[in-house]
A and B are shown apart, each in its own frame.
Chain A
Amino acid sequence: MSAIAPERTGATTDRTGVTTQAIEESQSVRLAPNYWPFVVPALVVVGAVIVFPWAFTLWMSVNRWTLGQSRSFAGMENYLRLASDPRFWESLVNTLTYTSLSVAAPMFLGTVAALIFDARFPLRGLLRGVFVMPMMATPVAVALVWTMMFHPQLGVLNYLLSLVGIPAQEWIFNAKTVIPSLVAVETWQWTPLVMLIVLGGLASVPREPFESAEIDGANAWQQFRYLTLPMIAPFLMIALIIRTIDALKSFDIIYAMTQGGPGTASETINIYLYNTAFSYYDIGYGSAMAVVFFIVIVALSFILLMLRQRSQWIDAEGK
């Protein structure tokens, strides 16, 4: 489809849409339809809720400004303060720990789930529907119920552990176990999204190579490793990128369950940013943090996007 399209709409795909359209009008009877009016309202809205806030955030970040007090120009002061703020560095480490765990676990489990749901078996549609429900459930509501389940004395999880002889844990109430416990909730909720993306990839895998591999005597693992995995690699990369962005931005679950505690043991950049801006009302410093946080997200996404292009290129060569 895309092979035909560029020829047909060649004139309008040009960046200088207006002039090429004028040329086309004089040359041919068929007018190239003007599609820009359809896009402009959305660009205006997105611009208003993105461009304005960013411009304003940049300006606030170079000011000394706590709500209710007077504002004064501070230059790079807020950024320098960030660099020497141990709480910020701790939150950065927490963010990276939380993110890498909340990417790795759903990626693994989601891929396994996709391989299962790609096969045919009774009640597949119903079971897949139930599997998808956690990612649709309201995160705050989910977090509250998990908080009750994590309760050290009355929680159902410690009871379940006691059945198999594992001693009671303090889960989110202990600085050492709080991040893995939160990651468990995040994994519970977001594994289905990875599953859906990988499932989409598996659906596009052709059957023939597997038939010839079978004839050549390749076992199930070899078929997965050398056929399935390379073919779904682009989809795994997409899942990886989306999961990374979402995990970095994670707020609802952490805030509702621990608010960054105990102490600051689960305080990610996003939570520290919230506390700075909306608990201490230090919006100058909070804005600087928002800028740095955004740079971290964009940098990580960019690295992953580059990897994705490489994986697509390998994929194209493989075909």
Chain B
Amino acid sequence: MNSRLLSQIGLFFAALVIISPAILFFLWMISLSLKFEIDNGAYPPILIPENFAWSNYAKVFEENNFLLYLWNSVLVTGTATLLALLIGVPAGYGIARLKAERSAVVIMIARMTPGLSYLIPLFLLFQWIGILGTLWPQIIIHLVVTVPIVVWVMIGYFETTPMELEEAANIDGASSWQVFRLVALPIAKPGIVVAFILSVIFSWNNFVFGVVLASRETRTLPVAVYNMLSYEQVSWGPLAAAALVVTLPVLVLTMFAQKQIVAGLTAGAVKGG
């Protein structure tokens, strides 16, 4: 009993050591964002300042059009995720039932292809069609990220749901669509939630598509925060505050949906090989 307690304490501290880089990083990020320039330039560095610079956050929204870019991010991520669910959930169902490994491979290639190699041809295409000034190019190209995630998670999920109900409905004369809509889909809700969360996170975080396709008016948050670095007199407080604002929604989502995310990533990743 005593040795078990001891090994539990040992494991707890081992875990603490291995998560310390994550804790220290986020603590320092928060600290940077709440310090005035004079404290951020101090040596030795100060972790908790005497005066908190809440004004750093106000500055981010006042000076950089951040509300517009926040809205752009919401529109791009929201639309790309909803479209991906609309296309990807039935596809995951179909592939799982067909056991169509080949279709799955096509989806997998999407994961292997570097984003930049889509960008050159699609950039030219969007230019010719004349939609470069709108959010549509980014929404369309974000499907490259969101559709494979949704399909992959849903294949994994539908493979584990029981077939008996679907077969019974099938014998009773229900069409494939009715079976999917009325039998398979309601059971799959937890899987859809996982697909939704992962799709939102990876679309929200995407930078490379925006850096090429976004104009001044159509920037998403990751591009906006990067531009702050290049154009402004680099002052650390507001920059760290902006970085925190960009990533906060995703971190909050991670905390609240930890279980689903872990389940989805493990299943998705294992499938993904």
Binding site for B on A (CB under 8 A): 5-6, 8-9, 12-13, 17, 30-31, 33-39, 41-43, 45-47, 49-50, 52-54, 56-57, 60, 109, 112-113, 116-117, 119-125, 127-134, 136-142, 144-149, 153-154, 156, 159, 188, 193, 196-197, 199-200, 235, 237-239, 241-242, 245, 248-249, 251-252, 255-256, 270, 273-274, 277-278, 283, 286-287, 290-291, 293-294, 297-298, 301, 305, 308
Contact = CB atoms under 8 A, between A and B. Distances in A.
Given A31-B170, A132-B254, A308-B273, A116 B15 contact: yes
Contacts of B123: 278
Most buried by A among B28, B88, B94: B94
Nearest to B179: A33
Contacts of B171: 30
A181 B100 CA distance: 43
Given A109-B18, A131-B18, A200-B266, A144 B113 contact: no
Nearest to A33: B176
Interface string B107-140: 1011111111111111111000000000000001
Most interface-central of B12, B29, B120, B258 (chain A CB within 10 A): B120
Interface residues of B, number: 103
Closest 8 pairs (CB-CB, A-B): A38-B94, A42-B91, A238-B273, A141-B243, A39-B94, A56-B121, A290-B117, A38-B90
Contacts, number: 298
B181 to A, nearest CB: 11
B12 A121 contact: yes
A148 B98 contact: no
A137 B225 CA distance: 14
5 contacts: A60-B120, A138-B247, A144-B239, A248-B114, A274-B208
Interface stretch (B36-44, B50-58, B186-194): B36-44
- Provide the main secondary structure of the chain B interface: helix
Contacts of B205: 136-140
Interface string B17-46: 011011101101100100000001101110
A57 B18 contact: no
B15 A124 contact: yes
Given A131-B22, A188-B21, A42 B255 contact: no
A53 B90 contact: no
Given A53-B122, A132-B262, A238-B269, A270 B114 contact: yes
Contact of A137 (B88, B144, B250): B250
B65 interface: no
B12 A49 contact: no
A130 B144 CA distance: 29
A144 B243 contact: yes
Contacts of A121: 8-9, 11-12, 15
B260 to A, nearest CB: 12
A290 B99 contact: no
Contacts of B236: 148
A278 B212 contact: yes
Given A39-B100, A41-B90, A139-B205, A52 B121 contact: yes
Contacts of A12: 97-98
Contacts of B201: 136
A144 B245 CA distance: 13
A294 B207 CA distance: 20
B204 interface: yes
A149 to B, nearest CB: 7
Given A129-B258, A140-B207, 17 more contacts: A17-B98, A33-B97, A35-B97, A45-B87, A46-B107, A50-B110, A57-B117, A116-B14, A116-B15, A119-B11, A132-B254, A138-B222, A141-B225, A188-B22, A238-B273, A270-B116, A274-B208
B126 to A, nearest CB: 12
A311 B267 CA distance: 20
A2 to B, nearest CB: 9
B113 to A, nearest CB: 6
Interface in B66-85: none
